[in-house]
Structure 1
Amino acid sequence: MSVVDARGLSCPEPVLLTKRTLEKSDGAPVKVLVDEMAAAENVAALAGSMGWQVTRKETGTHMELVLKK
């Protein structure tokens, strides 16, 4: 599973990093770590528009999104 650690980054960087990773993943699951709600929402919207399913999990310091084809 590829991991995109976008903690500390502002939009649009988390979305751009995630898009590049999804395009190279060949359908393998991708985990995205973000620490801003807006970034989580934007990454989830991108993944959904590309046909990926999104599972969200909040921890104390960040959000973890697991993207599956």
Structure 2
Amino acid sequence: MKTLDVRGLACPEPVLTVRRELEEMVTGTLQVMVNSGAAKDNITFMAKNLGWEIDVTDQEDYITLTLKK
């Protein structure tokens, strides 16, 4: 499982970073750490449109998105 930390990046950089990684992976599991609701929502929307399953876990200071395909 690969992990990306996109906390602190301004939109649209988190979405673009995750999209590039998903396009390279094709299948597998990617864990993404975000620290804003907008990044969570935008990455979730984009990943679902690309056919990935998303599991969202709220941590104390950030949100973890686990994307699987």
SS at match of 2:11: coil
SS at match of 1:23: helix
Aligned to 2:11: 11
Structure 2 unaligned spans of 5+? none
1: CA distance, partners of 2:46 / 2:7: 17
- The root-mean-square deviation of aligned C-alpha atoms, in Å, is 0.7
Aligned to 2:68: 68
Residue 51 (structure 2) pairs with residue 33 (structure 1): no
2: CA distance, partners of 1:31 / 1:25: 12
- TM-score, with structure 2 as normaliser: 0.96
Moved over 4 A (4+): none
- TM-score, with structure 1 as normaliser: 0.96
Identity %: 38
